[in-house]
Amino acid sequence: MTADIPALASLTLMPYLDATGQVPTDCQGKVGIYGIFDEAQTLQFVGYSRDVYMSLKQHLVRQPAACYGYKVETIDRPSRTLLEAIRTAWIDENGGQPPGNENEAAWTAAIDAKVTMTADEQAEYARLEEVNQIKYLKKIARRVEAEILATLKARGVQMDLRFNPKLKESGLLDLK
């Protein structure tokens, strides 16, 4: 690799959660690129962000079973060109796209609680007036939120996770 592009293998694999059940805050507010690894230390996703810490939290909520470790490279001066070059190099080093980069929306988009609705819930939703549909979507979103939080608690996550209340009206979940 060139001096500007570190090899993914040369970076230290950090545990996703520290001893207190928190995502480590050392990358809070920092621009960087990261690779996320599952429990078997297999690369699952390569992404970059203006706030690596916040992105790591979002990924943990969206893909808890795939977030057990990460490697990160922060940069002082934001450069999309450099971040894209590092991302390409890491994916090449991996021997191809990790599963998360093949379906990036599952890692980067808000969680759509509507897709979890049963046939009965869908029928009930369709019968409601628009004002009541919003309330119904909030109810579905809260149910999915509770399931996510239970899964994370079972993983040992102890941090306070707050979802954007306005998005729940659309049946979406995203950290605030």
Residues 162-170, mean pLDDT to the nearest whole number: 95
Position 3 in a domain: no
Question: Which carries the bigger pLDDT value, residue 176 or residue 70?
Answer: 70
User: Domain range for residue 144?
Assistant: 111-173
Position 85 in a domain: yes
Position 38 in a domain: yes
For residue 2, name the pLDDT band (cuts at 50, 70, 90).
low
Residue burial 57-67, b: 16+ Cβ < 10 Å; e: rest: bbbbbbbbebb
Residues in the chain: 176
Model pLDDT for residues 79-123, shown as the tens digit of each residue:
999 999 999 999 999 999 999 999 999 999 999 999 999 999 999
Residues 98 and 119 placed together within one structural domain of the fold: no
Nearest-5° Cα angle at 37, 19 to 88: 135
Give me the pLDDT at residue 78, please.
84
Position 63 in a domain: yes
Structural contact between residues 168 and 138, judged by C-beta atoms closer than 8 angstroms: yes
Residues 23 and 80 placed together within one structural domain of the fold: yes
Query: What share of the chain has pLDDT > 90, as a percent?
Result: 94
Longest CA span, the chain: 61
Residues 44-73, mean pLDDT to the nearest whole number: 97
Give me the pLDDT at residue 77, please.
87
Q: Alpha-carbon distance 106 to 122, whole Å? A: 22
The CATH number covering residue 88 comes to 3.40.1440
Give me the pLDDT at residue 4, please.
77
Q: Kindly write down the DSSP assignment for every residue of 127-154, as one continuous string.
A: HS-HHHHHHHHHHHHHHHHHHHHHHHHH
Q: Considering only CA atoms, which of 13, 87, 103, 101 is closest in space to residue 49?
A: 87
pTM score over 0.85: yes
Provide the domain count of the chain.
2
Residues 38 and 115 placed together within one structural domain of the fold: no
Q: Kindly write down the DSSP assignment for every residue of 41-77, as one continuous string.
A: --EEEEEEESSHHHHHHHHHHH-GGG-SEEEEEE-SS
**Does residue 56 carry a pLDDT above 90?**
yes
